[in-house]
Structure 1
Amino acid sequence: MRGIFYPHSVAVIGVSNSPDNMGRGIVFNLTEFGYQGIIYEVGPKGGVFAGRRIYKSVLDIPDHVDLAVILTPARTIPGILEECGQKGIRRAVVESSGFREFGEEGKKIEEEIIRVASRWGIRFVGPNCIGVINMETGLCTPFPPLRRIVRPGDISMISQSGGVGMSVLNLMANEGLGLNKFVSAGNMLNVQTEELLEYFIEDPGTKYILLYLEGIQDGKRLMEVARKSSKPIIAFKANIGHFGKSIASSHSASLSSNDRVVDAAFRQCGIIRVNDATTLGNDLKILRLPPMRGNNLAIISRSGGHAVIAADACEMSGFSLAPFPKEFLEEIEKHFRASVIKLTNPLDLGDLFDLEIYLKIIDRTLAQKEVDGIVFLHTFNATFEGPRSRELFQKVMELSQKYDKPVAIYVSTEDQEVNYLKRNFNYPIFTQVVETIRALGINRRHYAESQRLRQPAEIPYFPVDKERVKPFLEKASKEKRDLLIHEAAEILGIYGVPMVRGVAVPDEKGAVQAAKQLGFPVAMKVISREISHKSDVGGVQLNLRSEAGFTDAYQDMIRRIRQEYTEAKIEGVLIQSMVTGGRELIVGGRQDDQFGPVVLVGLGGIFVEIFGEVSVRVAPLSHREAMEMIDELRGAAILKGARGLKPSDMQAVVEVLLRISQLLSDFPEIREMDLNPLRVFSVREGCMALDVRMILEKE
Structure 2
Amino acid sequence: MTELPPGYPVLAEADVVLRDGSVCRLRPIKPSDADAIRHFHSRQSDESIYLRFFAPMRTLSDRDIKRFTEVDYHDRMALVATIGDDIIGIGRYDRVGPHTAEVAFNISDDYHGKGIGSVLLEHLAAIAHAGDITEFEAEVLPHNRKMLSVFSEAGYQVSRRLEDGVVTLHFAIEPTAESLSVRFAREHRAESQSVRAMLHPASVAVIGASRRERAIGHQVLKQVLDGGFTGQVHAVNPDAGEILGLTAVRTVGEIDGGVELAVIAVPAERVTQVVLECAAAGVKTLLIISSGFAEVDEAGAARQQEVLRLARTHGMRVLGPNSFGLINNDPAVSLNATLTPVIPRPGHLGLFSQSGALAIANLDSAARRNLGISVFASAGNRVDVSGNDLMQYWVDDERTHAVGLYLESMGNPRKFSRVARHLASNKPVIVVKPASATYGAPPGHKVRKPKVKPHVFGSMLQQAGVIHCENVHQMFDVAQLLVHQPLPAGRRVAIVGNSSQLAALCADNATERGLEVVHGPVAIPTEASAREFQRAVDAAFGDPDVDSVIVCFIPPVGALDQEVVEALRHAASRSDKPCVATLLGLLGVDEGGDAAFLHETGDVADDTPRQAVPLYPMPEEAIRALALATDYGQWRDKDKGETVVRDGIDRWAARALLDRVLEEDPEGRALTSDESRELLAAYGIDVWPRFEAADADEAVAIAEEVGYPVVVKSLSPLVRGQALLEGIRVDLHDAHAVRSAFEALDRRLAPMDANYFVVQRMARPGVSTVLSTLEDPLFGPVVSFSIAGAPTTLLDDIAYRIPPLTDVDVRELVEDLKLAPLLMGHDGAAPVDRAALEDILGRLSIMSDDFLELSSVELNPVVAHPEGATVLGADVMIAPVTRRRIDTGARSLT
TM-score, normalised relative to structure 2: 0.68
Pair 1:618 & 2:802 matched: yes
Answer yes or no: is the 8 Å Cα contact 2:496–2:503 preserved in 1: yes
Question: Which residue does 1:327 correspond to in 2?
Answer: none
Aligned amino acid, residue 3 of structure 1: A
CA offset at residue 284 of structure 1?
0.5
Answer yes or no: is the 8 Å Cα contact 2:858–2:874 preserved in 1: yes
CA offset at residue 216 of structure 1?
2.2
Question: Which residue does 1:275 correspond to in 2?
Answer: 470
Cα deviation, 1:515-547, whole Å, max 9, x if unaligned, reads 3312466456789xxx88785999976557547
Q: Distance in 1 between matches of 2:726 and 2:822?
A: 31
Aligned amino acid, residue 42 of structure 1: V
Q: Distance in 2 between matches of 1:504 and 1:496?
A: 24
Question: Which residue does 1:115 correspond to in 2?
Answer: 309
Q: 1:53/1:351 Cα in 2 relative to 1: closer, same or farther (>3 Å)?
A: closer
Greater CA drift, 73-82 or 507-516? 507-516
Question: Which residue does 1:502 correspond to in 2?
Answer: 690
- Find the partner of 1:222 among 389, 395, 416: 416
Answer yes or no: is the 8 Å Cα contact 1:16–1:45 preserved in 2: no
Answer yes or no: is the 8 Å Cα contact 2:861–2:872 preserved in 1: yes
Pair 1:608 & 2:780 matched: no
Pair 1:388 & 2:567 matched: no
Question: Which residue does 1:328 correspond to in 2?
Answer: none
Q: Distance in 2 between matches of 1:614 and 1:558?
A: 29
Cα deviation, 1:479-517, whole Å, max 9, x if unaligned, reads 231212332233333333343332468999876643331
Pair 1:452 & 2:638 matched: yes
CA offset at residue 305 of structure 1?
0.9
CA offset at residue 152 of structure 1?
1.6
Aligned amino acid, residue 487 of structure 1: E
Aligned amino acid, residue 466 of structure 2: I
Q: Distance in 1 between matches of 2:751 and 2:658?
A: 30
Answer yes or no: is the 8 Å Cα contact 1:16–1:47 preserved in 2: no
Aligned amino acid, residue 305 of structure 1: Q
Which structure 2 segments of 5+ residues have no match? 1-194, 600-611, 883-894
Aligned amino acid, residue 497 of structure 2: S
- Find the partner of 1:441 among 627, 638, 655: 627
Q: Distance in 2 between matches of 1:417 and 1:386?
A: 14
- Find the partner of 1:39 among 221, 224, 233: 233
What does residue range 363-442 of structure 1 map to in structure 2 within 5 Å? 363-380=538-555, 383-399=558-574, 403-413=575-585, 417=589, 422=596, 425=599, 426-442=612-628
Answer yes or no: is the 8 Å Cα contact 1:240–1:256 preserved in 2: no
Instruction: Judging by fraction of residues, say which structure has more helix.
Output: 1
Q: Distance in 2 between matches of 1:614 and 1:253?
A: 29
Answer yes or no: is the 8 Å Cα contact 2:862–2:869 preserved in 1: yes
Q: Report SS of the residue matched to 1:624.
A: helix
Answer yes or no: is the 8 Å Cα contact 2:644–2:804 preserved in 1: yes
Pair 1:468 & 2:656 matched: no
- Find the partner of 1:356 among 518, 523, 531: 531
Aligned amino acid, residue 387 of structure 1: Q
Aligned amino acid, residue 618 of structure 2: Q
Which structure 1 segments of 5+ residues have no match? 324-344
Q: Distance in 2 between matches of 1:507 and 1:73?
A: 74
Pair 1:304 & 2:500 matched: yes
Question: Which residue does 2:678 correspond to in 1?
Answer: 490
Q: Distance in 1 between matches of 2:371 and 2:359?
A: 14
Greater CA drift, 612-621 or 410-419? 410-419
Answer yes or no: is the 8 Å Cα contact 1:382–1:417 preserved in 2: no
Greater CA drift, 205-214 or 505-514? 505-514
CA offset at residue 120 of structure 1?
2.8
Question: Which residue does 2:196 correspond to in 1?
Answer: 2
Q: Distance in 1 between matches of 2:819 and 2:406?
A: 33
Answer yes or no: is the 8 Å Cα contact 2:677–2:686 preserved in 1: no
Question: Which residue does 2:841 correspond to in 1?
Answer: 657
Q: How many residues align?
A: 657
What does residue range 542-561 of structure 1 map to in structure 2 within 5 Å? 542-543=729-730, 546=736, 548-549=739-740
Answer yes or no: is the 8 Å Cα contact 1:539–1:557 preserved in 2: no
Q: Distance in 1 between matches of 2:636 and 2:525?
A: 38
CA offset at residue 616 of structure 1?
1.0
Aligned amino acid, residue 209 of structure 1: V
Aligned amino acid, residue 445 of structure 1: D
Question: Which residue does 1:338 correspond to in 2?
Answer: none
Question: Which residue does 2:480 correspond to in 1?
Answer: 285
Answer yes or no: is the 8 Å Cα contact 1:127–1:188 preserved in 2: yes
Q: 1:680/1:58 Cα in 2 relative to 1: closer, same or farther (>3 Å)?
A: same
Q: 1:411/1:385 Cα in 2 relative to 1: closer, same or farther (>3 Å)?
A: closer
Answer yes or no: is the 8 Å Cα contact 1:508–1:554 preserved in 2: no
Cα deviation, 1:313-346, whole Å, max 9, x if unaligned, reads 12111222225xxxxxxxxxxxxxxxxxxxxx11
Q: 1:160/1:351 Cα in 2 relative to 1: closer, same or farther (>3 Å)?
A: closer
Cα deviation, 1:428-461, whole Å, max 9, x if unaligned, reads 11121122222211121111111126x5434232
Answer yes or no: is the 8 Å Cα contact 1:101–1:253 preserved in 2: no
Aligned amino acid, residue 683 of structure 2: Y
Question: Which residue does 1:261 correspond to in 2?
Answer: 456
Query: Matched residues, percent identical?
Result: 25
Q: Report SS of the residue matched to 2:455.
A: helix
Pair 1:95 & 2:279 matched: no
Q: Distance in 2 between matches of 1:583 and 1:688?
A: 10
Pair 1:687 & 2:869 matched: yes
Q: Report SS of the residue matched to 2:596.
A: helix
Q: Distance in 1 between matches of 2:277 and 2:435?
A: 37
Aligned amino acid, residue 24 of structure 1: H
- Find the partner of 1:141 among 337, 349, 358: 337
Answer yes or no: is the 8 Å Cα contact 2:727–2:745 preserved in 1: no
Aligned amino acid, residue 61 of structure 1: I
Aligned amino acid, residue 289 of structure 1: Q
TM-score, normalised relative to structure 1: 0.86
Q: Distance in 2 between matches of 1:98 and 1:30?
A: 23
Q: Distance in 1 between matches of 2:598 and 2:263?
A: 34
Question: Which residue does 1:583 correspond to in 2?
Answer: 767
Question: Which residue does 1:85 correspond to in 2?
Answer: 279
CA offset at residue 550 of structure 1?
7.6
CA offset at residue 84 of structure 1?
1.2
Q: Distance in 2 between matches of 1:670 and 1:135?
A: 47
Q: Distance in 1 between matches of 2:253 and 2:673?
A: 66
Answer yes or no: is the 8 Å Cα contact 2:767–2:822 preserved in 1: no
Answer yes or no: is the 8 Å Cα contact 2:772–2:857 preserved in 1: yes
Aligned amino acid, residue 484 of structure 1: T
Q: Distance in 2 between matches of 1:540 and 1:240?
A: 36
Answer yes or no: is the 8 Å Cα contact 1:17–1:47 preserved in 2: no
Q: 1:422/1:386 Cα in 2 relative to 1: closer, same or farther (>3 Å)?
A: farther
CA offset at residue 116 of structure 1?
2.5
Q: 1:315/1:19 Cα in 2 relative to 1: closer, same or farther (>3 Å)?
A: closer
- Find the partner of 2:513 among 302, 307, 317: 317
Q: Report SS of the residue matched to 2:649.
A: coil
Pair 1:678 & 2:862 matched: yes
CA offset at residue 382 of structure 1?
8.2
Q: Report SS of the residue matched to 1:228.
A: helix
Pair 1:252 & 2:434 matched: no
Q: 1:60/1:640 Cα in 2 relative to 1: closer, same or farther (>3 Å)?
A: same
Answer yes or no: is the 8 Å Cα contact 2:766–2:864 preserved in 1: yes
Aligned amino acid, residue 585 of structure 2: T
Q: 1:295/1:237 Cα in 2 relative to 1: closer, same or farther (>3 Å)?
A: same
Q: Distance in 1 between matches of 2:769 and 2:494?
A: 41
